[in-house]
């Protein structure tokens, strides 16, 4: 269970980072 929870947290973190980088890129352009 702990492994699944950690994987979920990592996936959420990746989503957040991708979203932030997308915002940064669109801001630059």
Would you give the end-to-end CA distance of the chain in angstroms? 42
| pLDDT score of 7 | 95
What pLDDT is recorded for position 29?
A: 58
In this prediction, residues 2-29 reach a mean pLDDT of 87
CA distance 20 to 26: 10
CA–CA–CA angle 22, 3, 10 (5° rounding):
10
Q: Take residue 15 and report the two structure tokens written for it.
A: 């989503």
Instruction: Flag whether pLDDT at 27 surpasses 80.
Output: no
* Number of residues assigned to the chain: 29
Higher-confidence residue of 19 and 23: namely 19
The full set of domain ranges for the chain reads 1-29
Tokens of 2: 């702990």
Q: Both tokens of residue 10?
A: 């990592």
> Is residue 23 predicted with pLDDT exceeding 90?
no
């Amino acid at each position: 269970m702990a492994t699944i929870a950690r994987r979920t947290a990592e996936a959420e973190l990746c989503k957040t980072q991708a979203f932030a980088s997308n915002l940064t890129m669109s801001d630059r352009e």
